[in-house]
Amino acid sequence: MVEPFAAVDVIKAKRDRRALTPEQIDWVVDAYTRGAVADEQMAALAMAILLNGMTDEEILRWTAAMIQSGTRMDFSSLPRPTVDKHSTGGVGDKITLPLVPVVVACGAAVPQLSGRGLGHTGGTLDKLESIPGWRASLSNAEMMSVLRDVGGVICGAGAELAPADKKLYALRDVTGTVESIPLIASSIMSKKIAEGVSGLVLDVKTGSGAFTTDPAQSRVLAETMVRIGNNAGVRTRALITAMDVPLGLAVGNAIEVAESVEVLAGGGPADVIETTVIFAREMLDLAGILDVDPADALRDGSAMDVWRRMVRAQGGDPDAPLPTAREEHVVRADRDGIVTRMDAKGIGVASWRLGAGRARQEDPVSAGAGIMLHAKPGDEVSAGAPLLTLLTDDDDRFEGAQEALAGAVEIGPVGTQIYRLPLVIDRIA
């Protein structure tokens, strides 16, 4: 096959800050997917995109080419409107777990394709796999069957969905090009559009524990993804939310599942409950379901019923005990006062070092590892009171985790003014 373009010419165009033509974009994405463009060539192009950016037209075309590399799912046969949510990732961000059952209990269908954790941010599939028997890998036919029977599913994306993204994502991870907003936006949105839902709510985190730490950059990313989604015919909106402090009190895998179940049972931390309800309202609005209050689904047990059916439908036992760590170490307050700061990234890195996260996609994770928080900014503590409980299966990991926690938690005099980002910073529709 004679290729219509030379990869080096496409690289040079972007290196020299020229916009790529639609034909160049279609070709380079397809050629890379089938192996006609080498990894080192795509790495050079990704770096040029990181340094020189893309126009809106380029981003839209790049996303469309990624979608075209695979198949698109079709949920039009379902009797319910379909809506999904995507988070850019954070520390203690278990919101998908209670959110999907709540939205399903209120009448929408939620085909939630999720991923695994990498580095200090946790992954939804890793958390759910701590439930005995639960499986993340479903065929398209199995996914449709669960959606028809239960109304909601949380699983991994199949290999046929935007395969160009899977290949490019792995390359970006090892070439220092993960932070490119055009590549982040097209990566997320190519999978979500190919997923075939009619509505999508984006949770774009900002703060130390987030992928984008600068609220201005988070807004650019959110606006870019909303434009891509709406242009593709998927009603899309985004909320920019705080990730300066971990969400909830559990950071790990099994312990985050336990906290999510607590929320579904009508309890749990206030910030997890509030975030769940906020996103449920946005999703239901996009689905055209306006006469229900998602908070009621937590109060009346209907969301818990959906959760139990979802877990069983994917082979899990909702009544089975969750794994627990073999070792624990309590970090205590060194003085009386008030917690003034709890850095999300420091907590996330410590949890990762305890075994809850991975450095590479193929690394295993420990289901029981993680960190339980006993206080958060604004809480008064006494000298010697527990601040954090570190959980691991290997006590050799405590030292590295404590190094990551150095300076992550600060205690000041009672009355010290505390600055926290608001839970929802902005809304883009």
Domain for residue 384, yes or no? yes
Q: What range defines the domain where residue 47 resides? A: 7-53
pLDDT in tens, 334-373: 999 999 999 999 999 999 999 998 877 677 899 999 999 9
Is there a domain that residue 209 lies in? yes
CATH number, domain containing residue 353: 3.90.1170.30
| CB contact at 8 A, 238 and 200 | no
Last residue of a domain, one of 262, 288, 313: 313
- Model confidence at 167, pLDDT cuts 50, 70, 90, reads very high
Instruction: Give the pLDDT of residue 399.
Output: 97
172 counts as catalytic: yes
Please state the pTM of the whole predicted model: 0.94
The tokens for 221 are 């990313």
Q: Do 342 and 301 have their domain in common?
A: no
Mean pLDDT of 385-406: 97
pLDDT single digits (tens) 13-30: 999 999 999 999 999 999
Six-digit token pair at 332? 């205590």
pLDDT at 202 over 80: yes
Q: CATH no. for residue 41?
A: 1.20.970.10
Q: What is the reported pLDDT for 359?
A: 73
Considering the domain architecture, whether residues 192 and 248 belong to the same structural domain is answered as yes
Q: pLDDT at position 120, please?
A: 79
Under DSSP, the state recorded for 397 is G
% the chain with pLDDT above 70: 100
Distance CA 236, CA 245 (A): 26
Q: Is residue 38 part of a domain?
A: yes
191 is catalytic: yes
Domain assignment present for residue 319? The answer is no
Rounded Cα distance, 92 and 275, in Å: 12
The CATH number assigned to the domain holding 122 equals 3.40.1030.10
In terms of domains, do 139 and 278 share one?
yes
pLDDT of residue 364: 85
Contacts 24+ apart (CB under 8 A), 189-192: 189/63, 189/225, 189/228, 189/229, 189/232, 190/63, 190/66, 190/67, 190/162, 190/164, 190/165, 191/113, 191/157, 191/161, 191/162, 191/165, 192/84, 192/86, 192/113, 192/229, 192/234
- 129, pLDDT greater than 90: yes
Query: Do 299 and 342 reside in the same domain of the chain?
Result: no
Distance, in Å, from the CA atom of 329 to the CA atom of 319, rounded to the nearest integer, reads 28
| pLDDT of amino acid 362 | 72
**Catalytic site includes residue 426:** no
The 10s digit of each residue's pLDDT in 68-126 is: 999 999 999 999 999 999 999 999 999 999 999 999 999 999 999 888 876 778 889 99
Which residues have a Cβ under 8 Å from the Cβ of 96 and sit 6 or more positions away? 85, 87, 112, 114, 124, 154
Token representation of residue 177: 């090009």
Q: Is residue 277 part of a domain?
A: yes
Is 52 in contact with 19 (CB distance < 8 Å)? no
pLDDT score, position 65? 97
Say whether 165 is catalytic. Answer: yes
86 belongs to the catalytic site: yes
Does position 257 have pLDDT exceeding 90, yes or no? yes
Structure tokens at 125: 């599939």
Mean pLDDT is lowest, of 163-172, 390-399, 400-409, for: 163-172
Q: Which of 94, 172, 308, 345 is catalytic?
A: 172
190 shares its domain with 309: yes
Helix (H) or strand (E) holding 372: strand 370-373
Task: Give yes or no: residues 208 and 154 share one domain.
Answer: yes
pLDDT band (50, 70, 90) for residue 140:
confident
Look at 107 and 179; give whichever has higher pLDDT: 107
pLDDT in tens, 292-310: 999 999 999 999 999 999 9
Mean pLDDT of 243-263: 98
Residue 210 has pLDDT above 80, yes or no: yes
What CA–CA distance (Å, rounded) separates 14 from 47?
A: 9
- d(Cα 131, Cα 76) in Å, to the nearest integer? 31
| pLDDT, mean of residues 394-421 | 96
pLDDT at position 401 is 97
Q: Are 202 and 236 in contact (CB under 8 A)?
A: yes
* 164 burial via Cβ count (<10 Å: 0-12, 13-18, 19+): buried
pLDDT number for residue 398: 98
The reply to whether 77 falls in a domain is no
Could you give the percent of the chain with pLDDT greater than 90?
89
Classify residue 219: in a domain, yes or no.
yes
Are 257 and 385 in a shared domain?
Answer: no
Count of domains observed in the chain: 3
pLDDT at 13: 98
Which of these is catalytic: 84, 165, 203, 244?
Answer: 165
Task: Calculate the average pLDDT of the chain.
Answer: 95
| 130 occurs within a structural domain | yes
Q: Using the structure block, give the residue that is written with the tokens 């996914």.
A: 143
Instruction: Reply yes or no on whether the pLDDT at 425 is more than 90.
Output: yes
Tell me which of 69, 187, 190, 208 is the catalytic residue.
187
